[in-house]
């Protein structure tokens, strides 16, 4: 059975979202149709507003309404430290911890030769420019994910930045709190040992 065109288009739109297959898209489409009219209008306005009113900060690359973003504009933050992340959502995670008070830089991806992504395809050039223009930066913390691409990106950044005399550190990776050693894989255990701290 073919769905009416508006439903088919809605299903197709939902399928463009990551991790949404045909069945889930169909369920979401019919759920949307059953929603109150005001809720659907509000949902549509939220989508349009997010696309129209948000852009990337010209300094750090974070998603923002204002340029520069609130973090880059906040002079009370530690100007000597920049934490480098893969995506804007990673900043949200770090900020929810409320323990880091420095600046950020968003790469918008990682190096991936298999996908043809080189240094020029992610936000590295503006990071180098920031470091050249602001000599108060003393440390760059690389917080890319513990994937082969994330590790390769971290190594590339380290080799690029260290010659300028700036300290480059990496977030420790390893065992999560409450986890058992016997369930951890070798890479996790290695990172846990390498990231150990003195007691």
Using a 10 angstrom Cβ sphere, with 0-12 exposed, 13-18 middle and 19 or more buried, the burial of residue 174 is: middle
The count of structural domains within the chain is 2
Same structural domain for residues 95 and 150? yes
Range of the domain at 99: 77-171
13-38 confidence digits (pLDDT tens): 999 999 999 999 999 999 999 999 99
Cβ atoms of 60 and 69 closer than 8 Å: yes
CATH number of 47's domain:
1.10.8.420
Checking if the pLDDT of 179 tops 80, the result is no
Look at residue 178 in the predicted model and tell me its pLDDT.
72
Same structural domain for residues 147 and 98? yes
Residue 191 located in a structural domain: no
Same structural domain for residues 91 and 15? no
Sign, CA torsion 97/99/105/111: negative
Mean pLDDT of 66-83: 96
Cβ atoms of 61 and 107 closer than 8 Å: yes
Look at residue 199 in the predicted model and tell me its pLDDT.
46
Look at residue 197 in the predicted model and tell me its pLDDT.
59
């Amino acid at each position: 059975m073919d769905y009416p065109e508006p439903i088919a288009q809605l299903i197709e739109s939902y399928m463009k979202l990551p991790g949404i297959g045909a069945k889930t898209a169909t369920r979401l489409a019919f759920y949307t149709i059953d929603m109150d009219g005001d809720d659907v209008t509000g949902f549509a306005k939220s989508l349009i507003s997010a696309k129209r009113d948000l852009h990337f900060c010209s300094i750090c690359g974070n998603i923002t309404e204002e340029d520069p973003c609130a973090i880059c504009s906040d002079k009370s933050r530690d100007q000597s430290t920049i934490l480098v992340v893969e995506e804007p959502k990673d900043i949200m995670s770090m900020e929810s911890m409320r323990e880091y008070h420095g600046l950020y830089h968003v790469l918008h991806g990682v190096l991936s030769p298999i996908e043809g992504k080189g240094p020029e395809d992610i936000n590295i050039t503006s990071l180098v420019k920031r470091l050249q223009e602001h000599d108060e930066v003393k440390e760059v913390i690389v917080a890319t994910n513990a994937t082969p691409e994330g590790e390769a990106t971290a190594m590339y950044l380290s080799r690029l930045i260290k010659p300028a005399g700036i300290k480059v550190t990496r977030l420790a990776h390893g065992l999560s709190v409450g986890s058992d050693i016997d369930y951890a894989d070798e890479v996790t255990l290695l990172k846990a040992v390498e990231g150990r701290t003195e007691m």
